[in-house]
Amino acid sequence: MLSNSVQDILNDQIKHEFYSAYIYLSMAAHCEAENLAGCAHWLRVQAQEEQSHAMKLFDYIHERGGRVTLQTIPQPPAEFTSILDLFQQVLEHEQKVTGLINRCYETALKDNDYATSIMLQWFIEEQVEEEKNATAIVEQIKLMGASGTALFMLDRQLGARAG
């Protein structure tokens, strides 16, 4: 059985994972409007991944005899000044999520909830990958500068991401 503090923080994390999906869908919509279909595809795949993270937590709470309480998801931003700005926000968001996952882990350890600590290790490893991927895209965009050809090539590369 989950303690109230672990259950509460996992429910809060479900909200953050769904918000992640929501913000990535908003970013995908922006990219579609800018004719960057590959970037939009990458972000849609990312949104689906975030939804699966939320559902992993949802299922875990039930497996441990807890109760899921869904929370309000804030409206994400809809406008971005550039593709670099957009992907810098992706990176910043993933760094924020890493901090939230670490907070969940710390709460589980404080409550001597070893099962939850072990489950959260998957999320910790996932966040390392998420930050690495976002950093790589930001650095590629910085290297491109104002080159439309390079942006076209990056857009095609991101569009090849498997879903």
Kindly report, residue by residue over 69-100, the tens digit of the pLDDT. 999 999 999 999 999 999 999 999 999 999 99
Q: Range with the lowest mean pLDDT among 8-17, 130-139, 153-162? A: 153-162
pTM, two decimal places: 0.92
Alpha helices in the chain (DSSP H): 4-33, 37-63, 83-110, 114-144, 148-159
Contacts (Cβ under 8 Å, ≥6 apart) of 117: 105, 108, 109
Q: Where are the domains of the chain?
A: 4-159
Please name the CATH architecture into which domain 4-159 falls.
Up-down Bundle (1.20)
CA 103/CA 148 separation, integer angstroms: 41
